[in-house]
Amino acid sequence: MAETTLKAWHVRVQGRVQGVFYRASTQQQAHQLGLRGWVRNCDDGSVEALLCGEQAALDAMLAWMAQGPARARVDTLQKAPAEVPDNNDFEVRA
């Protein structure tokens, strides 16, 4: 994957997204799509993520995140362009 084709998004998801395996499911989905970055819970009950990869994979991931895992309820998903991260994996952060 050439660096020039990589894009990154900072994403915040609000709704019922904590305590429903949203982070673990996001990590699993990211691995399937070949993305790198991270996901973590926020103090306000939202989930925050940094996604990095090729456009088609990012589009698929954002579509998945707008629904989330079975027990989640996504009310809003906000995204903003971000810097491409240095890490080469996708991690769940505390």
pLDDT in tens, 1-43: 444 589 999 999 999 999 999 999 999 999 999 999 999 999 9
The count of residues in the chain is 94
User: Range of 48's domain?
Assistant: 3-93
- Point out the catalytic residue in the list 36, 41, 73, 88: 41
- Note the pLDDT tens digit of each residue in 41-80: 999 999 999 999 999 999 999 999 999 999 999 999 999 9
Q: How far apart are CA 23 and CA 40, in angstroms?
A: 7
C-beta atoms surrounding 79 within 10 Å: 15
Give the total number of structural domains in the chain. Answer: 1
> What does the alpha-carbon distance between residue 94 and residue 83 come to, in Å, rounded to a whole number?
21
Angle, helices 55-67/22-33, rounded to nearest 10 degrees: 160
In the residue annotation, 41 being an active-site residue is answered as yes
In the residue annotation, 36 being an active-site residue is answered as no
CATH of the domain at 58: 3.30.70.100
